[in-house]
Amino acid sequence: MNPLEKPRMPGFVYRNITFVVAVLLFISFFGLGSVLFKNFFSLQVFCNLLIDNSYLLIAAIGSTMVVIIGGIDLSVGAVIAFCNMSMSYMLTIMKMPLIPAIVIVLLIGTLFGMLHGWLVTFKGFQPFIATLAGQFIARGACYIITVDTIFVDNPFIVKAAIFKIRFLGSFISVGAALAVLMIILFQIIAENTQFGRNIYAVGGNEQSANLMGLPVKRTKFLTYTTSGFLSAVASLVFMLYVLSATGTHGDGLHLDAVASAVIGGALTSGGVGLITGTLFGVLTQGTIRTMITFQGTLSSWWAKIATALLLLMFILIQRAIVTGRERSHVSRKVEAVDPKAVDPKLISEGNYAQ
Amino acid sequence: MDKLKTLARRKETLAVIALTMLLLFNVFFTPGFFSLELKEGHFYGSLIDVLKRGAPLMFMAIGMTFVIATGSTDISVGSVASIAGAVAAQMIGGDFSTAAGSAAASLTPLPIAIAAALAVATLCGVWNGFLVSRLGIQALIATLLQVAGRGIAQLITRGNVITMYYKPFFEFGTGYFLGFPICIYVVLAVALAAYLFSKKTSYGLFLESSGSNRSSSRYAGIKVQRMIWVAFAVSGLMAGIAGVLIASEVKAADANNAGLNYELDAILAVVLGGNSMKGGRFSLPGSLIGALLVQALTTTIYMKGVPAQTILVFKAVVVIVVGIIQTTDYGKLLAKFIKKRPAGVFEVEK
């Protein structure tokens, strides 16, 4: 048999192998939990995963986009804490009406994103220095507002926080529903809009994207801005979840967000990743945490170590896949000479430049 | 005039000027900043305080300089410090009941405990170096894994704050010799060793070269991967020393708070010292001055009565400003100011 004619995987699996691995991992973890613990296998446990991680889901969308473009956002947790703090302060202490407060919070998050985008894109900062600085600014600004804990007592917020959307005998919270909507929305944006396709192109190879005439700088700037905006949205959901604000909220959340993106199939070298993959990244982490809760005797920091191990494992798997592909590409080049062998669909998909 | 020009081109100059300006500011606006008292044969005062509190940061800055010289960054230093502190505390321990007398006994001999703590810290550095240099995982992702390091530190201390009662161990952090804190002498000794290591052995040269241009260094026969590995190991060791120092100063190991937020401080110190984030030529004295500058800034802010937590904002703003100063191309800016740029046929971004 000709060694060049290797049996190929189906197109979707080949292109998104890391995503498929993430889904399988989640299913196996959930299955493991169901086997080990009583009452684990139920729709409500799954819904609780969505409820408990609703803010992480939304924040992780932004992190995923930044990872796809080849950067990193370390500011997620701190920006959520600061937005949550400002929102709680405006509602509880200043007694502001709800709508203006929401608008201001979304603006704050977007401004943080714009700051990171500006530093990375136009000032040549390394992404994590810029976002680390942003993290410190947001964290410090929390304490400038107040060092105390603020409890939210806005009647509408409290009502929204306890509202349950019921279906099939179980329920999800408003925040979880919003998170799922955001995942769907950003999956569509990433796959079907020019901005979304540009992110993949720039992340895959910045130089070629530039030579193709894509707006590299604008795309980068907008990606970081989107991440900041999503952190602000996440902070609203976070407030619904905890109904209070302190400066230490969301500590280390950026690790969870980046880990979700990577476990969900985003390559740390950029260019590859799916927003829906991040959903499974978050769910897998949530399952680990739930299993630790069900187990009962392990401390919560085991979750941290487990997440880190999982992250490491995934980076290693990615590494192996990427090196493996680079090797097989050398042999595949022979086929690519034949123009008929090129899938015409790929050409139309690759046509970013309009 | 020529001498002045070379002086202006030196990396440390900016840091020295900034430090001088900060001290001058304090002469006029912070009363009591320069008062130096001699009590019981020890010097007391804000200046000594800056040296003493800055010691852990100076250790970390030394290690960070090596890592940054290779073009990577180690953001695990804070966690590694907490791991080292936890190991030391766990091994020294001590019993409160006998502490009421004088020196309580240590569980393990002091040198062994410290050596173990430093060995564990170095191992952490080696692990980071392995991920970065052998597996080619970006430095950031590899070191982000170290955020789990605090989890490991908590594993060692079983989630408690471990208090130590063994007096000789405290000498490192709180003792005095000839009027000055002992830790300052240790900083000087380590800094001198690191300086000689980087200037008098081929390692320093190879390090600078592999940071400036990776591929040409490889063609010149330098084992670039090994250079990076060694740099991370050194950074781990330095973070370990800092962690032991912190533990000895507070007489306890707190896995959650020891070395917290030191990562940015260490990067800030190195960058303020005139070292480029892109790697290449580096200056250890510059990093040390940078560390002092960061600490002096912190102490000044404390003495001005600004709430402690807001220091984070100050430091972040300083990082951004210094970064912008470093990355701005002044020649181009000036040229733009003087005459309009010639119009190209077509302009591609970047």
Residue A27 lies inside a defined structural domain of this protein = no
Quote the domain boundaries for residue A166.
39-322
pLDDT at A48: 87
Pick from A304, A310, A318, A323 the residue to mutate for testing the B interface (most B CBs within 10 Å): A304
Model pLDDT for residues B190-243, shown as the tens digit of each residue: 999 999 988 888 888 888 888 888 888 888 888 888 888 899 999 999 999 999
- Contact between chains at B277 and A144 (C-beta distance less than 8 A): no
pLDDT at A7 over 70: no
Separation in Å, CA of B299 to nearest CA in chain A = 17
Confidence of residue A14 (pLDDT cuts 50, 70, 90): low
B137 contacts on A by Cβ (under 8 Å): 268, 315, 319
Interface touch A268/B141, C-beta < 8 Å? yes
Residue B342 clears pLDDT 90, i.e. is over it: no
| pLDDT for B101 | 44
Please give the pLDDT value at position A349.
46
The per-residue pLDDT for A296 is: 74
Q: Do B349 and A217 touch (CB under 8 A)?
A: yes
pLDDT exceeds cutoff 90 at A160? no
Could you tell me the pLDDT band of residue A55, with boundaries at 50, 70 and 90? very high
A308 versus B88: the higher-pLDDT residue is B88
Q: What pTM was estimated for this model as a whole?
A: 0.80
- Per-residue pLDDT at A169 exceeds 80: no
Residues of chain A in contact with residue B135, where contact means CB-CB under 8 angstroms, are: 315-316, 319
Quick: pLDDT tens for B99-132.
444 455 666 777 888 899 899 999 989 988 888 8
Whether residue A131 is contained in a domain is answered as yes
Q: Say if residue A140's pLDDT is above 80.
A: yes
% of chain B residues with pLDDT over 90: 10
The per-residue pLDDT for B142 is 62
Q: Going by C-beta distance under 8 Å and a sequence separation of 6 or more, which residues neighbour residue A117? A: A220, A221, A222, A223, A224, A225, A228
Q: What is the CATH number of the domain that holds A294?
A: 1.10.3470
Region B245-263 average pLDDT: 79
| A254-260: average pLDDT | 85
* Residue B69 structure tokens: 């010289």
A225 falls within a domain: yes
Position B41 pLDDT exceeds 60: yes
**pLDDT (0 to 100) of residue A156:** 85
Q: Mutate which of A67, A72, A82, A129 to test chain B, going by most B C-beta atoms within 10 A?
A: A129
What rounded mean pLDDT belongs to chain B?
Answer: 78
For residue A353, the model assigns a pLDDT of 39
Fill in the DSSP letter of residue A151: E
Domain count, chain A: 1
Residue B73 predicted with pLDDT over 90: no
Whether A342 is in a domain gets the answer no
Rounded Cα distance between B146 and A328, Å, is: 33
Average of per-residue pLDDT across B260-268: 81
In degrees and rounded to multiples of 5, residue A147 shows phi and psi of: -95, -5
Inside any domain, residue A126: yes
List all residues of chain B from 119 to 148 with a beta carbon under 8 Å from chain A: 135-138, 140-141, 144-145, 147-148
Q: How far is A298 from chain B (nearest CA, A)?
A: 11
Contact of B167 with B104, CB cutoff 8 Å: yes
Fold of the domain spanning B46-310: ABC transporter involved in vitamin B12 uptake, BtuC (1.10.3470)
A245 beta partners:
A150
Has residue B339 got a pLDDT over 70? no
> For B180, phi and psi rounded to 5 degrees?
-115, 155
**Whether the predicted interface score ipTM is above 0.85:** no
Partners of A119 on chain B (C-beta within 8 Å) are 320, 323-324
Retrieve residue B348's tokens.
Answer: 């591609």
At residue B111, the 3 state secondary structure works out as helix
- Whether A322 has a pLDDT exceeding 80, the answer reads no
What per-residue confidence (pLDDT) applies to B144?
61
B256 interface with A at CB cutoff 8 Å:
no
B98 vs A: CB within 8 A: no
Residue A219 has a pLDDT of 93
The number of residues in chain B equals 350
Chain A CB contacts of B136 below 8 Å: 319
- Domain-embedded: residue A203: yes
Phi, psi of A126 (to 5 degrees): -70, 140
Task: Output DSSP code: residue A173.
Answer: E
Query: E-strand spans in A101-197?
Result: 150-151, 164-167, 170-173
Kindly determine whether residue B147 and residue A252, on different chains, have CB atoms separated by under 8 Å: yes
pLDDT of A209-245, one tens digit each? 989 889 999 999 999 999 999 999 999 999 999 888 8
Which segment of A181-185, A240-244, A336-340, B251-255 scores lowest on mean pLDDT?
A: A336-340
Residue A10 has pLDDT above 60, yes or no: yes
Q: Under a CB-based contact definition with an 8 Å cutoff, are residues B256 and B150 in contact?
A: yes
Note the pLDDT of residue A168: 78
Tokens of B337: 């100011």
Q: What is the pLDDT of residues A258-301, one digit of tens each?
A: 888 888 888 877 788 889 999 999 998 888 888 888 877 777 67
Does residue A348 lie within any of the structural domains? no
**CA B290/CA B275 separation, integer angstroms:** 10
In a domain, A237, yes or no: yes
Q: What is the pLDDT of residue A238?
A: 92
Domain boundaries of chain B, sorted by first residue = 46-310
Percent of chain B with pLDDT over 70: 81
Which position has the higher pLDDT, B4 or B27?
B27
